[in-house]
Chain A
Amino acid sequence: MIDLSINCELVKNILVRFIKSEITRTGYEHAVINLSGGLDSAVSCALATEALGSDNVLAIRLPYKTSSPDSLEHAQKLIDQLEIRSVTIPITEMVDPLINLFPEMSKTRKGNIMARQRMIIAYDQSEEFHGLVVGTGNKTEILLGYSTLYGDSASALNPIGDLYKTQVRQLATELGIPHEIIDKPPSADLWVGQTDEGELGFTYEKVDQLLYLLVDQRYQIQDCIQEGFEEVFINMVVNRVKRFQFKRTLPPIAKISSRTIGSDYLYFRDWGT
Chain B
Amino acid sequence: MKIRIAIAQINTRLGDVPNNLEHNLSIANQARQENADILVFPELSLTGYSLQDLVPQVAIRPSEADPTFKLLLQASRGIDLVVGFVEEDARHRFYISAAYLSKGDVVHIHRKVHLPTYGIFDEKRFLAAGDTFRAFDTRFGRIGLLICEDFWHVSSPYLLWQDGADIFLLQSASPGRGITEEHIGSADWVETINRSYSGLFTAFFAHSNRVGFEDGLYFWGGATVYDPDGKLIAKGPYDQEAITYAEVDLNQLHRTRARLPLLRDERPEIVLHELGRILKHD
Contacts and interface: CB of A to CB of B under 8 A. Distances in A.
Contacts of A269: 215
B34 interface: no
A271 B180 contact: no
A10 B14 contact: no
Contacts of A102: none
Contacts of B215: 268-270
Interface string B1-36: 000000000000111100000000000000000000
Contacts of B184: 10
A272 B179 contact: no
Interface in B47-66: 50, 52-54
A192 interface: no
A122 B5 CA distance: 50
Contact of B213 (A13, A265, A270, A271): A270
A156 interface: no
A162 B158 CA distance: 37
Contacts of A6: 179-180
B212 A21 contact: yes
A268 B213 CA distance: 11
A4 to B, nearest CB: 9
Nearest to A162: B216
Contact of B54 (A18, A162, A271, A273): A271
Contacts of A10: 179, 182-184
B176 interface: yes
Given A21-B212, A22-B213, A270 B14 contact: yes
Nearest to A259: B53
Contacts, number: 55
| Interface size class of chain B, counting residues whose CB lies under 8 Å from the partner chain | 20 to 34
Contacts of A267: 52-54
B218 A268 contact: no
B87 interface: no
B52 A21 contact: no
B239 interface: yes
Interface in B217-240: 218, 239
B214 interface: yes
Nearest to A159: B216
A5 interface: yes
A7 B239 contact: no
Contacts of B14: 268, 270-273
B269 interface: no
Contacts of B214: 268, 270
A89 interface: no
A14 interface: yes
A22 B216 CA distance: 9
A11 interface: yes
A18 B216 CA distance: 8
A220 B122 CA distance: 25
A88 B213 CA distance: 33
Contacts of B212: 21
B180 A7 contact: yes
A23 to B, nearest CB: 11
Interface centre among B13, B54, B179, B181 (most CB of A within 10 A): B179
A17 B216 CA distance: 11
B126 to A, nearest CB: 8
A13 B181 CA distance: 14
Nearest to A3: B180
Given A7-B181, A22-B213, A14 B53 contact: no
A266 interface: yes
A6 B184 CA distance: 11
Interface string A1-35: 00101110011011001100110010000000000
B256 to A, nearest CB: 34
B217 to A, nearest CB: 9
A25 B16 CA distance: 13
B176 to A, nearest CB: 7
A61 to B, nearest CB: 28
Interface of A: 3, 5-7, 10-11, 13-14, 17-18, 21-22, 25, 162, 265-273
26 contacts: A5-B180, A6-B179, A6-B180, A7-B179, A7-B181, A7-B182, A10-B184, A13-B239, A17-B218, A17-B239, A18-B218, A21-B212, A25-B213, A265-B53, A266-B52, A267-B52, A267-B53, A270-B50, A270-B213, A270-B215, A271-B54, A272-B14, A272-B15, A272-B16, A273-B13, A273-B14
Given A6-B180, A22-B213, A162-B216, 6 more contacts: A10-B179, A266-B52, A267-B52, A268-B214, A271-B14, A272-B14
